[in-house]
Structure formats: C-alpha cells, structure tokens
C-alpha cells in the first residue's frame, strides 16, 4: 500500500467546504487504499499569530471534525503535529539546505506577508513550507493529497528531498502531488475568482461545516452569480455558477454534465435552492457527530495518543537516518 501524508491547520473553529472538498474528502477515500498519515498541524498554526486557549480548542475541534467526516483511527494514523517533536527537528535540517531566495519565491508567503506587513510577518511564516516538507518527508510519503493552492509547496518538498538525497545519500522518498482536479479549488461565494479561504474570505463567501446550516443555505442563495441566465459550466465567464456546480456535483456524486442536463431551462435560483438543501443535508449529521466527539474529550485524547505513538514509530526512524546522514554524532 502506498504511504500518504497530509495535514490541515487548526486555524479556524470550523473547516470550510473548500478544505473538505479539496482535501479532506480525499483523505477519507485514501485511508481505504493507502497507509495514510493525517495530521492536525498546530506548529503551522502559530506562524501568523494566535491565542493559546483558542488554538487548544481549535485543535480539538479539528480532530473532532476529521473523525466526524469519516476518518477512522483504525484505518489511518491521525495525530497532532506537536505531539511528534521530530517534525520541528527535521525542519531545522531541511532549512539548512533551503536557499533564502528559493523560500522567498513561495507565493503563499508573499501573499500573507504582504497582507501582514513585512515587519509583522514572522520568520515562521517564511519557513512554513520547510516545516511542511519535514512533515511529509518524515513519513516517507509516496503521495500527498492537497488542494491546488499547495502545489508550489509540494514542488519545494520534492526539490528538498532530491537535494538531500543527492548530497547525503538516499534518505527520503520523493513524494508525488495528488490533486483531485474536479475540486482542487473551491472558490469564494462572493468573489468566485479567488479560493474560499479561512483567513481571506468574507463571512458570506465561505461555507463552514460547523455553522448553522440555515446560515449556509442563506449564503448559497445569495452567492454571486454571473450575467446571463443560463446554467453553464464555464470557469472563465461564469465562475460563480461553475463553482456552485462543482460543489453540487461533488456533494451528490453526480457529474457536471448530468447536472447541466437536469437544470437545462431552469434558472440560477433553482440551482441555488437545491444546492442549499444538499449542503444542509450534508453538514447536519457531520455537526451531530462532531458534537458527540467533543462531548467525550477523554476518548479524543486517547485516540490522539495512539495516533502519536504510531506516527512517532515512523518519524523517529526517519529522523535518526537523516541525522546520521548529515553527520551528527550519534548519542552514546
Ligand atoms: N478553496 C479551496 N479549495 C480546495 N482546497 C482547498 N484547501 C484550502 N482551501 C481550499 C485545501 O485544504 C487543505 C487544508 O489546508 P490548510 O490547513 O493549509 O488550510 P488553509 O490553507 O489554512 O485553509 P485556507 O482556507 O486556505 O486558509 P488560508 O487561506 O488562511 O491559508 C489543503 O490541502 C488545501 O489545499
């Protein structure tokens, strides 16, 4: 079975539909076919400023949501990044083989630091993709299921793995990027040319899995659609309608073509009304299951302790190997 690794940041109380359709849904599928490691990346979550109590709560919320959407700790390894210290240790080594200019070319850093201002953007935000590379390489992952926004970071991970291997000897598997094309980029409901995002979307642009379903329905009904009245899939000229169709198809396991046929002659209002219903039906049981996990924090902690043990068994072996290759004297 191929090994896969992926992570998600606990940077909001709720995941959004972009996180779910672009990445997490695929995690659930891949636990059946792969040796899957999934991580709530709390070290990443402190790169842009945070509140300690909020972070702790969001980490639990993230784990509960992942279980609620179908991750099964019997079928995958689910853990919290800070429980496995090897992530930070390997990140240091990788940061020493990363060029300053190379890291500076990362678009996510450029975007986020531009928003924060270069004096308030942290060095951690700058080295974020190097920590991400460490996450992936520690587990010798063959593939990394992520949304399109992560492609550049994955390319850096591949470059670092190849560089390390050629400098110090074969150590890391060079992972492939696994992007599910159809849902790689879910866009903002109010600004359908940009991705739906925890940090950048306006409240009306984002569907949160844990928000009041009636609110989600309202947001879909007031989503920005395009000029014209015909329901067509055309990302360039009809990005709003195309985004709604993408979500609709993914949530109902229908193809876009089937939907186009079904909505032939109907209006945007019909599409929105039906999609709103689909979303409400989708999130309601997820919310119930999430609440049940949150109501039993002892059980959640136990699952995470098991996950951390499983993860560490692999992570320590890789870090030991990398340390030896780099020339660190083994402790006596
Ligand atoms: N809009 C999206 N469409 C498809 N996939 C998406 N992902 C995020 N947004 C979309 C994928 O979700 C996974 C988790 O990523 P993350 O924890 O890095 O999430 P994030 O980047 O914090 O989420 P946001 O909303 O994108 O936050 P900002 O904008 O604040 O950074 C990844 O696999 C990602 O591709």
195 is in an annotated binding site: yes
- pLDDT at residue 125, as a whole number: 96
The answer, yes or no, to whether any atom of ligand 1 lies below 6 A from the CB of 177, is no
Catalytic residue among 185, 195, 219, 272: 195
Catalytic (active site) residue 302: no
Q: Is the pLDDT of residue 199 over 90?
A: no
Confidence class for position 227, pLDDT limits 50, 70, 90: confident
The answer, yes or no, to whether any atom of ligand 1 lies below 6 A from the CB of 200, is yes
- pLDDT at residue 228, as a whole number: 86
201 is in an annotated binding site: no
Q: Is the pLDDT of residue 305 over 80?
A: yes
Report the residue count for the chain. 332
Catalytic (active site) residue 195: yes
Please report how many Cα atoms fall inside a 13 Å half-sphere around the Cα of residue 301, on the Cβ side.
6
Average pLDDT on 168-192 reads 93
The answer, yes or no, to whether any atom of ligand 1 lies below 6 A from the CB of 186, is yes
d(CA 229, ligand 1 centre) in Å: 31
Q: How many CB atoms lie within 10 A of CB 320?
A: 13
Q: Please, where are the H alpha helices in the chain?
A: 17-19, 25-33, 52-68, 86-95, 100-104, 107-116, 123-138, 151-168, 213-221, 239-252, 256-262, 268-294, 297-326
236 is in an annotated binding site: no
CA distance 190 to 201: 8
Q: Which is more confident, 287 or 183?
A: 287
Average pLDDT on 288-313 reads 98
d(CA 307, ligand 1 centre) in Å: 23
Average pLDDT on 43-64 reads 97
pLDDT digits (tens, 9 = 90+) for 139-175: 999 999 998 899 999 999 999 999 999 999 999 999 9
- pLDDT at residue 332, as a whole number: 86
Q: What is the pTM of this model?
A: 0.95
Q: Which atom of ligand 1 is nearest to the CA of 188?
A: 1
Instruction: Return the structure tokens found at 243.
Output: 């985004």
d(CA 148, ligand 1 centre) in Å: 9
Q: Is the pLDDT of residue 322 over 90?
A: yes
d(CA 315, ligand 1 centre) in Å: 25
pLDDT digits (tens, 9 = 90+) for 86-112: 999 999 999 999 999 999 999 999 999
- By most ligand atoms within 8 Å of CB, the mutation choice from 71, 106, 145, 147 for ligand 1 is 147
Mean pLDDT, the chain, whole residue set: 96
Q: Is the pLDDT of residue 256 over 90?
A: yes
The answer, yes or no, to whether any atom of ligand 1 lies below 6 A from the CB of 19, is yes
d(CA 123, ligand 1 centre) in Å: 21
The answer, yes or no, to whether any atom of ligand 1 lies below 6 A from the CB of 129, is no
186 is in an annotated binding site: yes
ipTM of the modeled complex: 0.94
Average pLDDT on 36-55 reads 97
The answer, yes or no, to whether any atom of ligand 1 lies below 6 A from the CB of 8, is yes
Average pLDDT on 318-331 reads 97
- By most ligand atoms within 8 Å of CB, the mutation choice from 21, 23, 116 for ligand 1 is 23
Nearest residue by C-alpha to atom 25 in ligand 1? 197
Q: Is 19:6 a contact under the CB 8 Å cutoff? A: no
Residue 189 burial (10 A CB sphere; 0-12, 13-18, 19+): buried
Confidence class for position 315, pLDDT limits 50, 70, 90: very high
Catalytic (active site) residue 181: no
332 is in an annotated binding site: no
């Amino acid at each position: 079975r191929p090994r896969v690794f992926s992570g998600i940041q606990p940077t909001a109380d709720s995941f959004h539909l972009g996180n779910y359709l672009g990445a997490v849904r695929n995690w659930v599928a891949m636990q059946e076919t792969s040796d899957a490691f999934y991580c709530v990346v709390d070290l990443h979550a402190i790169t842009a400023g945070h509140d300690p109590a909020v972070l702790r709560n969001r980490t639990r919320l993230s784990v509960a949501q992942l279980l609620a959407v179908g991750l099964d700790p019997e079928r995958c390894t689910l853990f919290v990044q800070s429980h496995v210290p090897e992530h930070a240790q390997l990140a240091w080594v990788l940061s020493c083989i990363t060029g300053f200019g190379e890291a500076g070319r990362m678009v996510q850093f450029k975007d986020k630091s531009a928003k924060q201002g270069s004096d308030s953007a942290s060095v951690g935000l700058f080295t974020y993709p190097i920590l991400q590379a460490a996450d992936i390489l520690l587990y010798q992952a063959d593939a990394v299921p992520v949304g399109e926004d992560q492609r550049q970071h994955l390319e850096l991970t591949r470059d670092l793995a190849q560089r390390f291997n050629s400098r110090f000897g074969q150590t890391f598997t060079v992972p492939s990027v696994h992007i599910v094309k159809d849902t790689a980029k879910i866009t903002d409901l109010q600004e359908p040319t940009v991705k739906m995002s925890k940090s950048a979307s306006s409240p009306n642009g984002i569907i949160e899995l844990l928000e009041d379903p009636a609110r989600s329905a309202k947001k879909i009904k007031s989503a920005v659609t395009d000029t014209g009245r015909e329901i067509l899939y055309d990302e360039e000229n009809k990005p709003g309608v195309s985004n709604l169709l993408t979500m609709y198809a993914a949530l109902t396991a229908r193809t876009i073509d089937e939907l186009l046929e079904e909505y032939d002659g109907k209006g945007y209002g019909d599409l929105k009304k039906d999609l709103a219903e689909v979303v409400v039906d989708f999130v309601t049981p997820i919310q119930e299951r999430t609440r049940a996990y949150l109501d039993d924090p002892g059980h959640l902690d136990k699952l995470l302790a098991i996950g951390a043990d499983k993860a560490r068994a692999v992570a320590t072996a890789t870090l030991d190997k990398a340390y030896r290759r780099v020339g660190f004297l083994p402790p006596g």
